[in-house]
Amino acid sequence: MRPLTIMLAIFALAINAFAIEDTLSLDRCQIINHETDRSMPSKLLIHFMLPERMSGREIILAEITSRATLRNIQRDSLLELYFHPFLAQPPENNADYDALEEITDSLGAGAWTCRFDSALSFRVDITGYMREVAGGDRINYGLIGALDLLGENNIVVPEKLAEAIRDHARVRILYK
């Protein structure tokens, strides 16, 4: 068991020795809730600019990271956060909950599920999506996420929290 641990540590160091790490901030974050059906999950529209220096580069790892505090949730609740890419530019203002489905790719970009208490951190792996964007195979129109509280009524995230999420969420990219 010990030799395996040493080999994994050496491998991790080798990747970091030749890779560049960059952290990007969100330039857009918007929360959309269904107007009438409160059982529908809140949607999170996010966008970040991929710097020109990453175009054509090999993306080793890309993840969205953040920390959140949720109240009045049962400790054994399961929360799922899943992201899908946009196929076209979403509206800047007054995005319609149902109309967003028409421009959302059915292939997922990343998901994260956890059992949580009142505070949680999350990391959503979006490496495949970022490889497509950096390689020029996909235009980065942004991602749409859905917060789904499994087994209970969904969380309705107040739209005013979008600014706080934008300020705290980061996209971490490791590339060479």
The residue ranking higher by pLDDT, 91 or 118, is 91
Residue 65 lies in a domain: yes
Higher pLDDT, 145 or 79: 145
In a domain, 15, yes or no: no
- Look at residue 134 in the predicted model and tell me its pLDDT: 95
Q: Please name the helix (run of DSSP H) or strand (run of DSSP E) that holds residue 117, with its range, or none.
A: none
C-alpha closest to that of 46 among 96, 1, 2, 85: 85
**C-alpha to C-alpha distance for 147 and 82, rounded to whole angstroms:** 7
Q: What is the pLDDT of residues 117-131, one digit of tens each?
A: 555 567 899 999 999
Contact criterion met (CB below 8 Å) for 111 and 83: yes
Of residues 25 and 15, more confidently modeled: 25
- Using an 8 Å Cβ cutoff, are 65 and 172 in contact? yes
4: in domain = no
Is residue 82 situated within a structural domain? Answer: yes
Indicate whether 141 belongs to any domain.
yes
**Residue 105 counted as domain residue:** yes
Q: What pLDDT shows up at residue 76?
A: 63
pLDDT computed for residue 174 by the predictor: 95
CA distances from 121 to 48, 51, 150, 169 (A): 20, 26, 18, 10
Whether residue 14 lies inside any domain: the answer is no
Average pLDDT over residues 11-31: 79
Domain count, the chain: 1
Range of the structural domain that residue 140 is part of: 20-175
Tell whether pTM > 0.85.
no
**pLDDT at residue 72 is higher than 70:** no
In a domain, 62, yes or no: yes
